[in-house]
Structures are given as C-alpha cells and as structure tokens.
Structure 1
Amino acid sequence: MHQTTESKITVQKVKNSRIAQVDFKNLTFGNIFSDHMFECDYINGSWQNPTIKPYGPLTISPGAKVFHYAQAVFEGMKAYKDDNGNVFLFRPELNHERINKSSVRMAMPEFPKDIFFEALETLLQLDQEWIKPGMGNSLYIRPFSIATQVGVSASPSDQYKFMILLSPAQAYYTGDVKVVIAQKYSRSANGGVGFAKAAGNYGAQFFPTNLAKAEGFQQVIWTDANEHKYLEEAGTMNVFFRINDTLLTAPTGDRILDGITRKSVIDLAKRSHIKVEERPVLVSEVVDAAKNGTLKEIFGAGTAAVISPVSAFSYANVTYNIPSNNHEYALKLKKELMDIQHNVAEDTFGWRHQVV
C-alpha cells in the first residue's frame, strides 16, 4: 500500500499540563499518559492530516473494522533522559521497520518513515519533562495502527488511524519471574502472524497466562504448536537459556518476534565473548539441564521488561528452581544494555538516537 502523506505535522499544544498530578515514584506500567499524542488518518490511499494534539479520548464508530476483524498492530519503544537532560531513543529505526512489517502481514498500509520520526521527535520535545532521569526511569512509547472503516464485511479496511502515545515508566516486573512451560496452548503457528506485533497475538495469551497465575506463576514459556517440544517465547518477551556458559535462544521466523532487545542482548553477549546459539531449543534439554545442574539461567528480554531473570519454571507439574546467585549473565547484560540506553556508557554500536 502507498506510504504517501499530504502534509506535515500540525501541533496543538495543551493549555495546562497534567504533569503535576503524577506521582513519578509510584507508577503502574502503562496507566498514565503524557500531555500530547500523535494522530494520522489513512484515507483515499494516503496518510493525511498528521497532528499532535492534547491526549484524550477518540470518537469511533462501533462498526469500525478493528473491532470485528482485529486489524491492529503496535510497537513498544522507550525514550531515556541522562543526567544532563539529553533525551535518547534506542534503535528506533528497527521499531519503524517492524511496525511496517507487521502492517504488511495484516494487510494494512505502511507508515512513512519521515512522518514517524518527525512525530516521535516532536512529541518527545513537547513532553520531555515527562521523561525522568535515573537508571530504570523511561518514557514508554506506544505507536499503533487500527482499521477505522465502518462496515462488518469480512475484508480489509480501506481507512486506518495511526497514533503514538507516551507513558512514563519504571520497572515492568519487580523481582524474579516464575514461569510455566506450555503443554497445551500455543502462541502462534507456522504461516501465522507470530512474528508480527498484531494485537490479537497478545489477546490470545491472556487466558493461558491467567491459568498460570492461578498456580502462582507470572508468565508462560510458549512451545511450538505442532508437538510442544520446542521452547519459543516467554510471555511477551523473547527468552534465553544458559546451559553451562552458552546462551541458547530460539531463532526468529513465522512464530517468533524479532525482538530489538533480543538482537541487542545477542550483540552484547558476543562482544563479551559469550557463546550464543540461535537454534531450536528442546524442552527436554532444558529440563535435563535443570536436573543435572548445567542449567544456570533463564531470562526474558523485551522493551518493557528489559531483562527479567526467571527464578523457577514448571513443566509437567514439576517445579525447577534456579538459584538467584546464578543470574550472572542476565544482570551483566542488563547493566550493559541500560548503561547504553541511559548514556552512561559509550555506545560503540551506534544504537542511541539523540532527540534533545
């Protein structure tokens, strides 16, 4: 689909900021939004009227196709502020590439790169006071696109809305995470949309995740849909397994999201001469490693959570604990990653994108 747009961004500023009402020391992830949001509509084959306006509700028909056929994709990004007040994005070009890849898979129009970056940078400049300095603080960024054509015929929409919201954030998970390895439910299948950040992928996870929570676990490690033999993702994160001194992670493909944090963890590990294998990981080899003591670590990696060590996993009603003093790689890689994101360490990879 076309990526043309008819005009540059119009900015409508708020009269009074809501920032004084926010307790930045007690944030619940994703519940508070900054003063402004970005909105752009796809009509008659082009993106039109890109606008930054005060954050507020939308008026949308209940007949909009997003509600009936789930044409919706999104991204997750973060902005960081260093102690000098400089604001940075982390590898944002990859988020733009991925939301367009997701859009193509969902038969939705791609969004122009120039408007994407102008919108991001203008929003962050307007709402930079919502980004607090300090390790662990960030501004979570949620770009998304939805189908807005009115009609319940089973066909792709010809109208869409692209938006960007900003939400101040702290840690996504507090403490270690306990997980269940899936034996019945699946996240995605070959030929499906598992590689895309399609909204329906996440909605389908909630029921089996609720079952896991009822058993005292926070997340599910998903397995392949065919035989449930191979480990794939952990909840909303890519997942790594350390057996002896080697990191194992599933290869990306139809079923697995090509995570930006995942890419970065692999690059950081290789820089430290940590052996990384991107290959199918059998449930049986991880269970065997847990039994014989060669399983040293499991950790999830994603934008919201950054890196989350797993303290225990359950499979076939047996729970295997991972001692907290085994989180060496997870903590090392998390520190190196966050130091780059917060401009504490030299960025030898060229990942930081300065905004202010």
Structure 2
Amino acid sequence: MKEQTIQLNLSPERKPKPQSEELGFGKIFTDHMFIMDYTEGQGWHDPRIVPYQPISLDPACMIFHYGQTVFEGLKAYLTEDNRVLLFRPQKNFERLNRSNERLCIPPVDEEFALEALKQLISVEKDWIPNAEGTSLYIRPFIISTEPFLGVAPSSRYKFMIILSPVGAYYKEGIHPVKILVESEFVRAVAGGTGEAKTAGNYASSLKAQEIADGKGYTQVLWLDGLEKKYIEEVGSMNVFFKINGEIVTPALNGSILEGVTRNSVIELLKSWDLPVTERRLAMEEIREAYKSGQLEEAFGTGTAAVISPIGELLWNDEKMIINEGTTGPIAKKLYSTITGIQNGKEQDPFNWTVEVEQYAATK
C-alpha cells in the first residue's frame, strides 16, 4: 500500500487503570483502538487511532451472515527498566495474511500494520501491567462490512486492533491442567480452515468445551477429523509430548494452526540439543507410552498461556496421570525462558523481541 499517515484522535478522558489482582483475561480494554478501512478499488485507507468505542454496522454486513473474518493474538510486555517489548510480532502479521488468503480477504501491509501497532501501544503504554505473569494482550482482527446477502467475498472490510491488560489465561497458571480427549466432535479437517485463524474454528469448538467443563476438565484434546485417531491441537493451543526422551508435536497437516509459540518452542529445544520431532502422532501411541511408563511430559503452547502443562488426560473413560500430575522440567524451562525473553529478563539470542519506541506525537 502507498505510504499513509496514521491520524490521531486521542480521548480527552482516560479510564482508571485496573489493579493487577483485578485482571482476568480479555475483559478490560484500553482507552484507544486502531481502525483502517478497505474499499474495493481504493484499497486500505484512512488509518487512525481513535477512542475505544462501539462500532456501527449495517445488519446486512457480510460478517454477520457468512463469517468472513480473521484475527490474531500477541502481547506487549513492560521490562524492569520501563521498555516495551513485543514478541515476534512479524510472525503474527505474516500469519494474518495467510489467514486473509484462505478467507479471500485483501492482504494488509505487514510493515505498516506493525507500525500502527507500535503507535497504538505508544499511546497506551500506561496500560501495560508490570506484575508477574501479566501483559498487554493485543487483538488485531479484520471483519467484512459490505451490506450484501449474496455469498461472495466482501468488497469492504475493517482492520482493527484493540488492547487488553491481562493476567493468566488459565486460573491454574503454570500448574498442570486436566484435558478431555474429544472423540465425537472435530475442530477442523485438511482443506478446511483449520490452518487459518478465523472465528468459525472457535465457534465450532464450543460444544466440546462445554462438555469438558461439565466433566471438570479445563480443555479438549482434538483428534483428526477423518479417522479420529491422530492428535492435532489442545483447545486453541498446539501440543507437545515427551515420550521416552523424545519431544513430539503433531506435524502441520493443513488443519493445524501454526503457532508462533510452537515455532519458538521447537527452535529453543533444538538450541538445547534436545530431540524434537514433528510427525503424525496417534492417541493410541500416547496410551501405550503411558502404560509402559514412557510418557514423561505433555504441555500446550500458545500466546495466551505460553506453556500450559497437562497433568491428566481422559480418553475413552481411561485416565492417564502424567508426571504424577506435576509440571515437568521441560515445560518449566520453556516457560521460564520464553517469558524471560518476553519481559527482558533473559538474553534474546534469536532476536525475537521488538522494542516499541515512544512516539513524540503520542506522549
């Protein structure tokens, strides 16, 4: 896109900042948001930072009827010396465009999107919490806004970024969670939208999650959509298992979302000379490893929770208690290292973090 200036319309009134103990996940929002519009024939235009507010949409907008939307999730962190760090934000905007391609949404300029995010965070720096385990969650998303009831790609879109100060995603934190293996419902199939970050994938997961909640389990372990034999994701996270010293994660197959944290974990494990493999992984293999005492650890990886250890699996009424229900050493080390890099307490040998400078116009 041609070079554009981001217009600033800052709110004269600011909301009180929450205390760290008041933070849940995704319930509190900052004073401002970023918006940019797309019109067919004109492209992306009118980028602006405005007060956080409701938006007005025609009831016939295509987002309401055909679900043409994509989103991302990443975080900003405040360091002890008051710097603001983003963790691999380029990866998120690259994935946003891959999702755009799958959903027939026009691509955004990734460099410009990152610049817009930096300016927005510069405006909202005072909202970044600094207590242990807290951060500023970032939600970029695109919705189709053309008022039309024909099934076709929209000719109009809104690209928005909103911000939310957050605490831990799971109340358990880095402590192990209980997972129900889902054998009836499926999250996605190859050729579908599983490798895109789009709303429908999450809506279709709610029924299985509701059942898991009712049984006292925190999340669902998804199996493949064809044979219901092979492991894909855990909840909305990628998943890893340590089996007899080897760390295994399901290979990307067209229905699994490629996580930024997943990629980071694989790079870290390789840098530590630990055996890590991406391959097809059957639930029966996990059961056999458990029975033989070779299932040593399991954990999910994702932006929201970073690392979420798995302490128990329930599959076909058979319970598998992993590592005596405690957090394993690999999960602990990964969590400590990644969060340490994110908040600037550890060295960043991979150059993963991006510092957000304070823009003069936003001070």
* TM-score of the alignment, normalized to the shorter chain, above 0.5: yes
* Match in the other structure for 2:36: 40
Residue 249 of structure 1 pairs with residue 245 of structure 2: no
* Match in the other structure for 2:19: 23
Question: Aligned partners of 1:222, 1:306: CA distance in 2, in Å?
Answer: 19
* Match in the other structure for 1:171: 168
Residue 174 of structure 1 deviates from its aligned partner by: 2.4
Question: What letter corresponds to residue 152 of structure 1 in structure 2?
Answer: L
CA deviation digits over 1:201-242, x for unaligned, max 9? Answer: 111000111011111111111111111110010001000011
**Secondary structure of the residue that 1:25 maps to in structure 2?**
helix
* Match in the other structure for 1:75: 72
Question: Aligned partners of 2:200, 2:333: CA distance in 1, in Å?
Answer: 34
Structure 1 residue ranges without an equivalent (≥5): none
**Secondary structure of the residue that 1:57 maps to in structure 2?**
coil
Residue-pair matches, total: 352
Residue 156 of structure 1 deviates from its aligned partner by: 1.0
* Match in the other structure for 1:86: 83
Q: Using a 3 Å threshold, how does the CA distance of structure 1 residues 326 and 303 change in structure 2: closer, same or farther? A: closer
Q: Describe how 1:165-244 pairs up with structure 2 within 5 A.
A: 165-175=162-172, 176-244=176-244
Does the CA-based 8 Å contact 2:35-2:161 persist in structure 1?
A: yes
Question: What letter corresponds to residue 112 of structure 2 in structure 1?
Answer: I
Residue 63 of structure 1 pairs with residue 60 of structure 2: yes
Residue 290 of structure 1 deviates from its aligned partner by: 1.3
Q: Using a 3 Å threshold, how does the CA distance of structure 1 residues 14 and 326 change in structure 2: closer, same or farther? A: closer
**Secondary structure of the residue that 1:284 maps to in structure 2?**
helix
RMSD: 1.2
**Secondary structure of the residue that 2:228 maps to in structure 1?**
coil
* Match in the other structure for 1:334: 335
Residue 5 of structure 1 deviates from its aligned partner by: 5.1
Q: Percent identity?
A: 41
User: Normalising by the residue count of structure 2, what TM-score does the alignment of the two structures yield?
Assistant: 0.95
Residue 302 of structure 1 deviates from its aligned partner by: 0.1
* Match in the other structure for 1:279: 279
Greater shift in the superposed pair: 56-65 or 129-138? 129-138
Residue 253 of structure 1 deviates from its aligned partner by: 2.9
**Secondary structure of the residue that 1:120 maps to in structure 2?**
helix
Residue 326 of structure 1 deviates from its aligned partner by: 5.3
Question: What letter corresponds to residue 143 of structure 2 in structure 1?
Answer: I
**Secondary structure of the residue that 1:195 maps to in structure 2?**
coil
Does the CA-based 8 Å contact 1:135-1:342 persist in structure 2?
A: no
User: Normalising by the residue count of structure 1, what TM-score does the alignment of the two structures yield?
Assistant: 0.97
**Secondary structure of the residue that 2:351 maps to in structure 1?**
coil
* Match in the other structure for 2:307: 307
Residue 99 of structure 1 pairs with residue 96 of structure 2: yes
Does the CA-based 8 Å contact 1:65-1:147 persist in structure 2?
A: yes
Residue 23 of structure 1 deviates from its aligned partner by: 2.7
CA deviation digits over 1:173-223, x for unaligned, max 9? Answer: 122211111211111111111000011111100011101111111111111
Does the CA-based 8 Å contact 2:311-2:327 persist in structure 1?
A: no
**Secondary structure of the residue that 1:319 maps to in structure 2?**
strand
**Secondary structure of the residue that 2:265 maps to in structure 1?**
helix
**Secondary structure of the residue that 2:354 maps to in structure 1?**
strand
Does the CA-based 8 Å contact 2:20-2:131 persist in structure 1?
A: no
CA deviation digits over 1:274-302, x for unaligned, max 9? Answer: 11010001110101111221111110000
Which consecutive segments of 4 or more residues in structure 1 shift more than 6 A?
Answer: none
Residue 99 of structure 1 deviates from its aligned partner by: 0.3
**Secondary structure of the residue that 1:338 maps to in structure 2?**
helix
Does the CA-based 8 Å contact 1:296-1:326 persist in structure 2?
A: no
Question: What letter corresponds to residue 247 of structure 2 in structure 1?
Answer: L
CA deviation digits over 1:44-65, x for unaligned, max 9? Answer: 3301100100001000111100
Does the CA-based 8 Å contact 1:6-1:49 persist in structure 2?
A: no
Question: Aligned partners of 1:325, 1:30: CA distance in 2, in Å?
Answer: 28
* Match in the other structure for 2:132: 135
Q: Using a 3 Å threshold, how does the CA distance of structure 1 residues 132 and 141 change in structure 2: closer, same or farther? A: same
Residue 324 of structure 1 deviates from its aligned partner by: 3.5
Question: What letter corresponds to residue 27 of structure 1 in structure 2?
Answer: L
* Match in the other structure for 2:110: 113
**Secondary structure of the residue that 2:179 maps to in structure 1?**
strand
